[in-house]
Structure 1
């Protein structure tokens, strides 16, 4: 059976080091292979420098998770298309919040909306070993699959699920979590109703979270939108953000 693969983008920046170390820990936890990918521009990148970035990133990964199987590769091209191509068939694509060189700017947002696999932007307190897995629950029925992913991640990390509904005064019936509680009986789960704008509420809730899980606004692989909550978390959450496919 082919081993699960995680792909992580590296650029040598502090943010990409955080992403590499987080991805390595996840690879160890999931029993997955980790592939470190560095994008470079032909004719404009120093080959020795690029090789050094790959080498250092692999060392960081192995230091974070000595048991994980780690490989590194430098591929020509711009960061977004390189990462999208490299992540085909992967279980997870991990990028840093921001970085220098070809990983500068909105790489996280672009791969989050275009990748065919789940994406994690390893931002904020990415090494936080405690706290709940936070997920937004709204009226979108597609949110049920995102809720299920939150339970899956919580079970994997030995954490609880905190399902947050923002902008309402509460509900008389709370059955949305019941099927997942039944399936993941070892995972504690809470439902909270918090007044306020969803994006702001979720960012505040994530200050003590180990992971936030969001889904695309609409399904599909091309032109997927994150919506207000996903976009706000991608730029303001104090923990890694998983965009679930």
Structure 2
């Protein structure tokens, strides 16, 4: 019985190919169904309009790659009419995780190159992984723990990802100037208070928290050089879910490993 669904957007680009490889491995880890999606413009109006030339070839190549990377995983493909961002955002509503490449816009219609991943990661209602860089095989999972209201969601998801990978977890709280953050505990407080509830749920995960001085976006990006995955959350001020904040935005441009934007 399928308990989880992962969706991945493809367009034939190198970034999309990396996303398919990563998504297939994640589907195998989770015993999940994998859906491979491509957006296309209709050649003519009407519900029976065929996909643009090349779309079926892109899907076939992506499905073949996914099945070779993760034999036994159920893989389905869909060509959907429309622009890339709305197509993928709609797909995210019925997926537990949406995966896109770092620069997946090349042949997906609708936005300039490089913008689809950021748009989807910013506006999706579910979790989104943007595959970029190279995951360090023996590296930790990083969590950006900013003492905000979504810190529990981020840390909990990071624990889950670390358990799936049999990897250690490092939760990083970076504060410019190093002083006490009025939104969180003082530096002399219990740094493990955020981790303890999740340690009970994931006893096999070795985890620790680091509270360091520096800009969160810079610190997290630098630490991704030796990480398997970095997990951060969206900002919740203003319009809910439409801002990634400095850390998420910088990671999507410069992280050396895949980035997961965690949502409940």
Whether TM exceeds 0.5 here: the answer is yes
Aligned to 1:154: 162
Report whether the alignment pairs 1:210 with 2:228: yes
Aligned match for 2:83, one of 58, 64, 78: 78
- In structure 1, runs of 5+ residues without a counterpart are none
Judging changes above 3 Å, is the alpha-carbon distance between structure 1 residues 187 and 221 closer, same or farther for their aligned structure 2 residues?
farther
Hey, what's the Cα distance between the residues in 2 that align with 1:93 and 1:3?
15
Judging changes above 3 Å, is the alpha-carbon distance between structure 1 residues 62 and 2 closer, same or farther for their aligned structure 2 residues?
closer
Q: Could you list the per-position Cα deviations for residues 209-234 of structure 1 after superposition, in whole angstroms to 9, with x for gaps in the alignment?
A: 10110111018996521111111111
**Root-mean-square deviation (CA), in Å?**
2.1
Aligned pairs, number = 244
3-state SS in 1 of match to 2:194: coil
Aligned to 1:25: 25
Q: 1:198 touches 1:229 (CA, 8 Å); kept in 2? A: yes
Q: 1:114 touches 1:222 (CA, 8 Å); kept in 2? A: no
Greater per-residue helix proportion: 1
Aligned match for 2:204, one of 165, 186, 189: 186
Hey, what's the Cα distance between the residues in 1 that align with 2:28 and 2:143?
24
Judging changes above 3 Å, is the alpha-carbon distance between structure 1 residues 219 and 73 closer, same or farther for their aligned structure 2 residues?
farther
Q: Could you list the per-position Cα deviations for residues 18-44 of structure 1 after superposition, in whole angstroms to 9, with x for gaps in the alignment?
A: 001100000111011101001111229
- 1:180 offset after TM fit, Å? 1.6
Aligned match for 1:61, one of 56, 60, 66: 66
Aligned match for 1:226, one of 229, 244, 249: 244
Aligned to 1:101: 107
Hey, what's the Cα distance between the residues in 1 that align with 2:8 and 2:94?
13
- 1:86 offset after TM fit, Å? 2.1
Q: 1:116 touches 1:221 (CA, 8 Å); kept in 2? A: no
Hey, what's the Cα distance between the residues in 2 that align with 1:144 and 1:87?
22
Aligned match for 1:134, one of 142, 145, 151: 142
Q: Could you list the per-position Cα deviations for residues 92-127 of structure 1 after superposition, in whole angstroms to 9, with x for gaps in the alignment?
A: 00000003122632111111122121100011114x
Hey, what's the Cα distance between the residues in 1 that align with 2:32 and 2:159?
20
- 1:130 offset after TM fit, Å? 2.3
Q: 2:141 touches 2:167 (CA, 8 Å); kept in 1? A: yes
TM-score, normalization by structure 2: 0.86
Q: 1:114 touches 1:221 (CA, 8 Å); kept in 2? A: no
Report whether the alignment pairs 1:171 with 2:176: no
TM-score, normalization by structure 1: 0.92
- In structure 2, runs of 5+ residues without a counterpart are 45-49, 180-186
Report whether the alignment pairs 1:111 with 2:129: no
Runs of 4+ residues over 3 Å off in structure 1: 44-48, 169-172, 219-223
Hey, what's the Cα distance between the residues in 2 that align with 1:221 and 1:32?
32
Hey, what's the Cα distance between the residues in 1 that align with 2:25 and 2:237?
29
Q: Could you list the per-position Cα deviations for residues 143-164 of structure 1 after superposition, in whole angstroms to 9, with x for gaps in the alignment?
A: 1221111111111111111011
